[in-house]
Chain A
Amino acid sequence: MTEEFIRGALMEITVSPAGERAAVVQLRGRLDLLVAAEVKQRLAQAVSEGFRLLVVDMGEVSFVDSSGLGALIGGLKAARLAGGDLRLANLGTQAQAILELTTLNRVLRPYPNVAEALRAE
Chain B
Amino acid sequence: MQRIERHYELSTVPSAGIEQLHAALAAFWPEAAVATEAQIRFSTALAEVVANILQHAVRVNDAPIQLRLRCTPYRIEARLVDRGRAWHLPATTFSLPADDEESGRGLAIASTILDTLQYRRFRDLNCWRLVLALKPN
Of the listed stretches A19-27, A53-61, A66-74, chain B binds A66-74
User: Is the CB–CB distance between A32 and B99 below 8 Å?
Assistant: no
Interface size class of B (residues with CB under 8 A): 20 to 34
Known contacts A34-B18, A65-B47, A102-B109; A71 and B40 CB within 8 A of each other: no
Secondary structure of the A contact surface, majority rule:
helix
The answer to the question of B93 belonging to the interface, with a C-beta cut-off of 8 Å to chain A, is no
Total A-B pairs in contact (CB under 8 Å)?
71
Known contacts A32-B18, A33-B18, A97-B40; A69 and B105 CB within 8 A of each other: yes
Known contacts A6-B15, A102-B109; A94 and B44 CB within 8 A of each other: yes
Measured between beta carbons, the chain B residues less than 8 angstroms from A97 are 40-41, 44
The answer to the question of B24 belonging to the interface, with a C-beta cut-off of 8 Å to chain A, is no
The answer to the question of A63 belonging to the interface, with a C-beta cut-off of 8 Å to chain B, is yes
